[in-house]
């Protein structure tokens, strides 16, 4: 069983009422958003984390810190970001239709980021969602449907 975008409050509620604990929680995670509260909670409760939007919708590919680390390792910025996430124990799935990028995204196991490089990337955190997700909130509706708090047609 897996869930997506469950924060600590929702995960606690689920664990209090479910007969089967979820095995995975898929959350937005990349150098710009770390969500430390839910990451800590899931790790403490042996729930695997999976990163969605692991490259921050591509916004991170031109980041100077990441490019500098990529140059040092002779890797692409995407490879550095994916390696940073893997080294933290996340499952990381990327989306691309380009065969070259598919191959490149798989070639992240032949290098390791140093603790200093990991910290440099950690400092990029802004706790900002990369897309529309921050326009939603959990409503607590009994039917499980959440209220949209943005403008109609915003996405």
Tens digit of each residue's pLDDT (9 = 90 or more) over 81-101: 999 999 999 999 888 888 998
Task: Assign 58 a pLDDT band (cuts: 50, 70, 90).
Answer: confident
The domain 2-135 having CATH identifier 3.20.20.100: the answer here is yes
- Secondary structure letter of residue 146 according to DSSP: P
Closest CA to 87 of 108, 73, 101: 108
Report which of 109, 97, 101, 111 is spatially closest to residue 78, judged by C-alpha positions: 101
- Indicate whether this model's pTM tops 0.85: no
């Amino acid at each position: 069983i897996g869930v997506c975008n469950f924060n600590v409050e929702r995960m606690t509620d689920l664990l209090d009422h479910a007969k089967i604990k979820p095995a995975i929680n898929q959350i937005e995670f990349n150098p710009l958003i770390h969500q430390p509260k839910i990451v800590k909670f899931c790790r403490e409760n042996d729930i695997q984390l999976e990163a969605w939007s692991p490259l921050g919708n591509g916004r991170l590919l031109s980041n100077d810190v990441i490019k500098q680390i990529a140059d040092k390792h002779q890797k692409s910025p995407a490879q550095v970001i994916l390696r940073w996430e893997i080294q933290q124990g996340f499952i990381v799935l990327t989306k691309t239709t380009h065969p070259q990028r598919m191959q490149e995204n798989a070639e992240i196991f032949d290098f390791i980021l140093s603790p200093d490089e990991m910290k440099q990337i950690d400092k990029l955190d802004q706790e900002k969602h990369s897309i529309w997700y921050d326009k939603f909130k959990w409503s607590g509706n009994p039917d499980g449907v959440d209220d949209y708090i943005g403008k109609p047609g915003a996405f």
